Every structure is written in structure tokens, then in C-alpha cells.
Amino acid sequence: MRPLEELVDPQDSALPLIHEWIEEGDLPVQVLPPSADRDAVLLGLQVTTRSPLGAMAHDTGGILVDGGWLRMLGSGHPQLTRNLSSWNHERADGFLLIADDVVGGFFAINGGGLGDDQGAIYYFAPDTLAWESLEIGHSDFMQWAFTDRLHEFYRASRWEGWEADVAALSGDACFSFFPFLFTKEGSTQTSSRKVVPVAEQYAFNLAGGDAGK
């Protein structure tokens, strides 16, 4: 393992670049301050702060996009307690979970376990229970998520009054829908919603995906 001094580069952090992407974007974005555990999180990931992923892990507590609809993980914060290191422990195999949304979708960097396109961002869609490649890398994903293209991606997933519902939601919770979104009857507009822990929804999604194979 590389020591912390090899991973932290205060003179060449990618954090200013992330802020530049946010300023160039279209959506409201909240950058949470880093936690006291940020050194341990970075050591667990073994990436440098010169990369956006390392800067997220060490220099932010996470990022909330579009009122909290999308949550990008960092070192943890009271509004988003999950961090990039511990959240992936015993949950990810051949990929790294980096973000999730309020409808039970999850984003991951492919480490070889999701396909041949290592480094590509994948989305685990709650309406298909399958990993789908977005065919972009992590830096492009972050820039994409700060723009109106995120609205287009979720156009069919939003319901009337979603803004108020999401504003009242913890960063460690999401909505569970019934009928389920992966059924013919399921829809974010017509299904009933209840708040569940993100960890519970992730386990449910993967179990459903395994059952459907």
C-alpha cells in the first residue's frame, strides 16, 4: 500500500477542477466538507488527490446534485454518512460504487467485473435490475452530472412534486416503489413510495437481479 504522503498532493489537487465543472454546469450542486476520516478513506482507495476520484475521497464529504437527487460519495458527512471506502466493503466485486440516486439506481466504475471496458461508468437501473454501461469515464461522468443532461437521463423517472420529496430525504435513504419499477405495472409516477435505507435498496436490487438471471 502506498502511504498517505504519496496520495495527497495539495499542490496539484483535482478539487479546483471539480469546482470548475460545477461552475460550468447548469444544476444546483452542494459540495459537502470532508470528514475527519478522509485520510483513512483515501488510504483505503489507494488513489491520489490529483485524480477527481481521489479529490472526492479526501477533499469532500460528498456532493449532492440537483437538490440531492444524485449523491456522489466522498469521505462522508452528516448529510451523507456513507464514504467511498467503507460503502464498497463487501458490496462491490470488480467495480467501485461512486454514486446513487433517490430512485434506487447506482453508479459504479468498472474495475473489470462488469465488462471489458475497464474504467467505464456503469448504471444499475432499478427498472431493469441490470448494469448498463454509460460508455464514459469518471471525469466525463462528473461533468455530465452537473448539466441538464442529467434531467434528460431521468426524464421518465420524475414525478410531480419530486423536489419537495427529495429535499426531505437523507443522503443515506432512497425511495422504494410498489409495484416495483422492474415490473410492467411499476412506475415512479404511479407506484406508491416509501423511504428505505440505501443499503437495504442496494441489497434488494442485487437479490432481484440474481433471481432474474
Cβ(192)–Cβ(175) under 8 Å? no
The predicted structure's pLDDT at residue 208 = 79
Q: What span, in angstroms and rounded, lies between the C-alpha atoms of 112 and 92?
A: 11
pLDDT digits (tens, 9 = 90+) for 60-114: 999 999 999 999 999 999 999 999 999 999 999 999 999 999 999 999 999 999 9
The whole-model pTM stands at 0.96
% of the chain residues with pLDDT over 70: 98
% of the chain residues with pLDDT over 90: 95
Q: What is the mean pLDDT of residues 16-37?
A: 98
CA-based nearest residue to 189, from 207, 165, 209, 170: 165
Note the helical H segments in the chain: 4-7, 15-24, 38-45, 52-59, 138-145, 149-153, 162-167, 198-211
Q: What is the mean pLDDT of residues 138-154?
A: 98
CA distances from 114 to 53, 123, 130, 142, 172 (A): 19, 10, 10, 20, 25
The predicted structure's pLDDT at residue 197 = 98
Mean per-residue pLDDT over the chain, rounded: 96
Residue 194 β-bridge partners: 176
Cβ(172)–Cβ(80) under 8 Å? yes
Residue 131 burial by CB count (10 A; 0-12/13-18/19+): exposed, middle or buried?
middle
Look up residue 114 and give its DSSP letter: S
Instruction: Kindly indicate the confidence band of residue 10, based on its pLDDT and cuts at 50, 70 and 90.
Output: confident
Q: What span, in angstroms and rounded, lies between the C-alpha atoms of 50 and 40?
A: 17
Residue 177, Cα to own-chain centre: how many angstroms? Answer: 19
The predicted structure's pLDDT at residue 33 = 98
pLDDT digits (tens, 9 = 90+) for 150-178: 999 999 999 999 999 999 999 999 999 99
